[in-house]
A and B are shown apart, each in its own frame.
Chain A
């Protein structure tokens, strides 16, 4: 079916503004992806999947400017022993990064990877699988035009986390990054991501977790106010594998985080969680799609949003259970804490189940701060502001607790507490 003219024009305008990286093993994948983009067209406000989030600034040929922000605080995870890999405005910076060698993992730059590369079997492949039943054109655009990113092959159990650190330098930076993560059978790793990446950021991460393997992913976005970001994670889980992804988002004019999980092997576990805190001109969208196509797999989606001063939070979450995916255990909760009457939370929870022996539940709530709890804390001498902060942190706790490593949980909570406290000063 031909695309509407307006959509076709907008898509071509965006494509024309970019140049296709040439040469190497990824070429066929890029060309296929470009064909997908042209066939699907980039999203616009009429698309059902973009009902609650306006895609125009994410799609526009030119990125809207976004001022860099010096938060004046030490970067998250700073004190932690980790392999540091730094990107400046979406370009890998070898000077600022650690040496790429770490036992149990091999890491290459997408921009430099040699002709024959293991990532060939994954680059654009998981993204393409994730294009059905719902189109994700910005991810295909990413596969076609990403000029940098990391190809991370986990072969063992690296002794420290692999830490991707983003730095935003130019007001006009428009970064497209594509990472591929392959975790071998029985291997286990933790990937951290943090820092403001660019004025506009399109990021895709394809994750293949092999039998008995485990990947932990902990990400922090923010606190740059003006950034716009569209990110995708495509995760494929094989037998008895585990994938846990948590994202903390603070501020940001426009953030759309899509996570697409597919269970292809039995007895696997995937947890996708997020906590976001939005103030004022803030729009944050978590869109999650989990497909159960194997027996006895467990999926959890836990999302908490704290919104004030006209901030908007969106959650679109779906669990699809295919006919043979018996014994599926699916859980989904999305909740918002609305700190004033101006903010809004829009939720679209969906279950689509074709197997008959499954346990799936979902819930979505919106509420104000608990007045009884607030009074109780104040009656013990805790000032109102501190009491609100405590209750706010308590509200997001269920999502933060999805992070397995307790010291990382503490890092995240401490960061949130610091933000909240400074907000009041």
Chain B
């Protein structure tokens, strides 16, 4: 599904190397988690994969289903099946949530040469998906993320994911700013989307999200590299001992 090889990334504006050779393969149907201390490069990885400005790839590659991601426009990556659930979802005053989602769904369909969704069909689907995530009709009408609470914003991300049905989902610290109930709701939304044909990369600081979204593989990232890979037990080890032991172990 997602294949990252020897990825080196620096900031465009300053001479600062953030990723120093990341190797990572996420298979279809699997959930991979990346954990790591602040500043290890986790969020940068998600931004580079989704195509945000400000980063320069100096070496390595990243492909989605064999296609070179790094060579594609942001919107083309999305149409190819990549989805990033933002750590900080952006507020867009003046653009209704519903309009936004329908534009996005149909733009992706059009880009893939599929038929666009009719208004009636779209409404039916979004109502059902919104209900699962306890998103009410009022929230769908409001401008994108404007005045949403932290929990509402994250649920809105998952709603977008559910509507867009991507192949590869990256969740960037989706648990940040969530209380236990909100996290459970978001995790349930993600779990409902787990599927043979879909890959997940869950980026998080804490093990607690992984209690709800059970990963198949856990990676520890530090200083721009993946330094250790293991099963779910690796997350528990971090939870108990912090990152210090692991960092020492590989040093």
A-side interface residues toward B, CB under 8 Å? 370-373, 375-384, 386-387, 390-391, 393-395, 397-398
B75 touches A373 (CB 8 A): no
Q: Could you say which of B74, B86, B93 has the most chain A C-beta atoms within 10 Å of its C-beta?
A: B74
Question: Are B52's CB and A373's CB within 8 A?
Answer: no
Chain A residues, Cβ within 8 Å of B104:
377, 380-382
Within 8 Å CB of A393, what residues of B? 94-95
Instruction: Decide if B90 touches A373 in the complex (CB within 8 Å).
Output: yes
**Inter-chain contacts of A391 with B (CB < 8 A):** 92, 94-95
Q: How large is the interface on B (under 10, 10 to 19, 20 to 34, 35 or more residues)?
A: 20 to 34
Contacts of B99 in A (CB 8 A): 390
Q: How far is the CA of A376 from the CA of B105 in the complex (A)?
A: 14
Residues on B with beta carbons closer than 8 Å to the beta carbon of A377: 92, 100, 104
Inter-chain contacts of A371 with B (CB < 8 A) = 53
Cβ of B89 within 8 Å of any chain A Cβ, yes or no, is yes
Contact B53 A383 (CB under 8 A): no
Assess whether B94 is in contact with A397, with CB atoms less than 8 Å apart.
yes
Q: List 28 A-B contacts (CB under 8 A).
A: A373-B92, A375-B52, A375-B90, A376-B90, A376-B92, A376-B144, A377-B92, A377-B104, A378-B51, A378-B75, A379-B75, A379-B77, A379-B84, A380-B101, A380-B104, A380-B108, A381-B78, A381-B164, A382-B75, A382-B104, A383-B75, A386-B107, A390-B92, A390-B99, A393-B94, A394-B93, A394-B143, A397-B94
A375-B50 Cα distance, complex, nearest whole Å: 9
Interchain CB contact (< 8 A) of B79 among A381, A387, A390, A398: A381
Q: Restricting to B204-248, which residues have a CB under 8 Å from any CB of A? A: none
Is B89's CB under 8 angstroms from A376's CB? yes
A residues less than 8 Å from B51 (CB atoms) = 378-379
Asked if B74 and A379 make an inter-chain contact with CB atoms under 8 angstroms apart, the answer reads yes
For window 61-83 of B, CB contacts with A under 8 Å fall at 73-75, 77-79
- Cβ of B75 and Cβ of A384 under 8 Å apart? yes
Residue of A nearest to B74 (CB): A378
* Contacts beyond the supplied A379-B77, A381-B108: 5 A-B pairs with Cβ under 8 Å: A375-B74, A379-B50, A380-B104, A382-B107, A397-B94
A390 touches B86 (CB 8 A): no
The number of A-B residue pairs with CB atoms under 8 Å apart is 80
Known: A371-B53, A383-B107, A386-B107. Contact between A378 and B94, CB under 8 A?
Answer: no
Contact A398 B160 (CB under 8 A): no
Partner among A373, A376, A386, A395 whose Cβ is within 8 Å of the Cβ of B103: A386
Q: Which residue of B lies closest to A383 (CB)?
A: B75
Task: Give the CA-CA distance A398 to B100 in the complex, in Å.
Answer: 18
Nearest chain B CB to A389 CB, angstrom units = 10
Quote the shortest CB–CB distance from B236 to chain A (angstroms).
32
Residue of chain B at shortest CB distance from A378: B74
Q: Considering the complex, give the chain A residue whose CB is closest to the CB of B89.
A: A376
- A394 to B94, Cβ gap below 8 A? yes
A398 to B95: give the CA distance in the assembly, Å.
11
Of the candidates A379, A394, A398, the one having the most CB atoms from chain B within 10 angstroms of its own CB is: A379
Cβ of A396 to closest chain B Cβ, rounded Å: 8
Docked-complex contact A380 and B160, CB < 8 angstroms = yes
Contact assessment for B78 and A394 in the assembled complex, using a CB-CB cutoff below 8 Å: no
Q: How far is the CA of A375 from the CA of B144 in the complex (A)?
A: 14
CA distance A371 to B103 in the complex (A): 18
B46 to chain A, nearest CB (A): 10
CB distance from B24 to the nearest CB of A (A): 20
Contact assessment for B100 and A380 in the assembled complex, using a CB-CB cutoff below 8 Å: yes
Of B53, B93, B143, B164, the residue contacting A380 (CB under 8 A) is B164
Q: Could you tell me the distance in whole angstroms from the C-beta of B78 to the nearest C-beta in chain A? A: 4
Tell whether B111 is near chain A: CB-to-CB under 8 Å.
Answer: yes
Instruction: Return B76 CB to nearest CB of chain A, in Å.
Output: 8
Closest partner residue, chain B, to A393 (CB atom):
B94
Contacts of A378 in B (CB 8 A): 51, 73-75, 78
Among A372, A384, A398, find the residue whose CB has the most chain B CB atoms closer than 10 A.
A372
Q: Given A391-B95, A394-B95, answer yes or no on A380-B90 (Cβ-Cβ < 8 Å).
A: no
Determine whether the beta carbon of B107 is less than 8 Å from that of A381: yes
- The answer for the CA separation of A66 and B195 in the assembled complex, in Å, is 62
Q: Are A380 and B86 in contact (CB-based, < 8 A)?
A: no
Residue of chain A at shortest CB distance from B86: A376
Q: Which of B52, B73, B95, B99 has the most CB of A within 10 A?
A: B95
Assembly CA distance A377 to B50 (angstroms):
12
For residues 40 through 55 of chain B, which have their beta carbon under 8 Å from a beta carbon of chain A?
50-53
Q: Do residues B73 and A380 form an inter-chain contact, with CB atoms below 8 A?
A: no
In the complex, which residue of chain B has the Cβ closest to the Cβ of A397? B94
Report yes or no: B89 in contact with A380, Cβ–Cβ below 8 A.
Answer: no
Nearest CB to that of B78 among chain A residues?
Answer: A381
Known contacts A376-B90, A395-B94; is A384 also within 8 Å of B78 by CB? no
CA distance A371 to B74 in the complex (A): 13
